[in-house]
Chains A and B, each alone.
Chain A
Amino acid sequence: MRFIRRDLPYTILVVFGTLALLSYYVAIPAIEAVAGTSRTWVVVIGAFAVFLGALNVIRTHAVRAYQKKENWWLSVWLVFIYFSMVIAGLLAGTGSAQYKWMYAAMYTPLAQGVVGTLGLFLVSAAYRAFKIRTSESLVFFLGFFLIAVRQASIGPLLWPGFEIIGNWVTLWPSTGTMRAVTIGLAIGTVALALRTLARYEKIGLEEGGIVGGG
């Protein structure tokens, strides 16, 4: 049991992870072939994962509807719409006019509506962030103010210096910080990958949860 639940997943991870890493640096046809095949398998496994996800959605909402929990009719509606799309896709094909209409007339407007809330949340996040309560938030606010005024067409008209200072902030402090963070991120990613391959990092593949053990 321990082998299946702990050792086997890690062995697969280490073998195929190492092969994928090597295939990027070493030009050996056998390694390239295995790495290429494993990439195809990832797609297949991904498809199984979609099935698992879909199963979770149906199970969760079927149980909610059966137990008549609060707003249970919404769960019934979700399952109904879910199967309507599946049946339309299976019977008429995903390229059919009916399926495309369902997608364009039902999903797209709702999705765009959700994306539309982004503007509202940006404003409320800005209000929350730029209330000057500490010295850090003052720096945060000044950075925002200079960039915002530079971007707004009225800014340089009010005072040309806004454009100069705004450009300076973008070009020097912002770019410098971004590069420092990017270097740290790159090394961090490599370190995490190597720790995972060397089995120093647990990533939810085994009991314990607390990472670092082996």
Chain B
Amino acid sequence: MFVQGRTVEFLLILIFLALQVVFIQRAIKKKEVGYIRHIVGLDAIEEIIGRATEMGKPIHLSPGVYAGFGPGYAGPTVAALSIFSYVSSLAASKKVPILASVNDASSYAAIDEAVRLACESACSPESYRPENIQYYAYGEALLTGVFGTMTRMKPAGNFLIGPFGWDAVVQGELGAYANAMQLGGTDAFSNLSMLAATCDFLLIGEEIFAAGAYVSKDPKGAGALRGQDVSKLTAVVILVLGALLWLAGSKLVFNMLGV
């Protein structure tokens, strides 16, 4: 019934799901958020929106040149959608115009819808302007478009979250030239340094995936984060156990995982 070599992997997925559900349900029952480690980059979102409100300037969203729902890119794109949705609702509640630049058609449709719904939920449907959510056919066209947006509109805040590639340094620098306060985050390790060099705030690795749960500030979100952390701990325990057993001459964990 199971594909050969993937049974343990599937069981681990089920365990991770169970951990998420258990911790979320426990948090809902207790009705308290409890302690959550501060993520500086996510705390900065309100500061960036506040700055844009005071300056009367727009904010800009970009999920990067590799945004899309294909294998390898869907995760960070969904995470970007989550964050953009929150950022847009916050911006719309303060009447801050929202600009976005996307070069993948599916992501464009998803971000357009997310911004529209976020504006409606913030009782500010007029904040959503379809012409401000720009679609560019290619990566190079995206950068040209971002160049123009940064030069003409000079946004006060720039959110660079998603599967960034070689464009990370260009988009980050363009934002810095426009004096925008920037929040960057990507799962692409090699381009994280580019965002670190150019952005004021940074979401490192998995922090982009925790963002949705973190910003919700509700027991459900806190439970989800705890579930994620315990899942990570479980993975680390398996890793250490595998290494120790290997040192002792046993490849039990390696064989079980099909490594």
Contacts and interface: CB of A to CB of B under 8 A. Distances in A.
B180 interface: no
B118 A188 contact: no
Contact of B169 (A27, A118, A201): A118
Nearest to B232: A187
A128 interface: yes
A207 B13 contact: no
A203 B218 CA distance: 16
Interface residues of A, number: 67
Interface in A124-141: 124-126, 128-129, 140
Nearest to B222: A212
B236 interface: yes
Contacts of B84: 204
Given A56-B134, A213-B220, A117 B170 contact: yes
B113 to A, nearest CB: 6
Given A191-B16, A211-B86, A204 B109 contact: no
A24 B7 CA distance: 10
B205 A184 contact: yes
Contacts of B110: 203-204
Given A57-B135, A181-B189, A188-B205, A200 B117 contact: no
Contacts of B17: 194, 198
B198 A125 contact: yes
A126 B197 CA distance: 7
Given A184-B206, A191-B224, A210-B89, A46 B106 contact: yes
Nearest to A56: B135
Most buried by B among A56, A59, A196: A56
A28 B212 contact: no
A11 interface: no
B6 interface: yes
Interface stretch (A89-97, A108-116, A157-165): A108-116
Interface of B is mostly: helix
A110 B145 CA distance: 13
A115 B140 contact: yes
B213 interface: yes
Given A49-B108, A128-B197, A211-B85, A191 B231 contact: yes
Contacts of A34: none
A208 interface: yes
Contacts of B208: 188
Interface in B158-211: 166, 169-170, 172-174, 176, 187, 189, 192, 194, 196-198, 204-206, 208-211
Contacts of B108: 49, 52-53, 56
A181 B205 CA distance: 6
Contacts of A178: 189
A140 B140 CA distance: 29
Contact of B82 (A140, A184, A187, A203): A203
28 contacts: A25-B7, A25-B9, A25-B10, A26-B10, A52-B112, A57-B135, A57-B137, A115-B166, A117-B170, A125-B197, A178-B189, A183-B236, A186-B235, A188-B210, A189-B75, A192-B82, A198-B17, A198-B21, A200-B213, A201-B224, A204-B114, A204-B117, A205-B117, A207-B117, A209-B122, A210-B86, A211-B211, A213-B216
The 8 closest A-B pairs by CB, nearest first: A204-B114, A212-B216, A209-B89, A188-B206, A188-B209, A211-B212, A129-B197, A212-B221
Interface of A: 21, 24-28, 42, 45-46, 49-50, 52-54, 56-57, 59-60, 63-64, 110-111, 114-115, 117-118, 121-122, 124-126, 128-129, 140, 178, 181-196, 198, 200-214
Given A191-B20, A191-B209, A200-B24, 9 more contacts: A49-B105, A52-B105, A56-B108, A121-B174, A186-B235, A200-B220, A203-B82, A208-B121, A209-B118
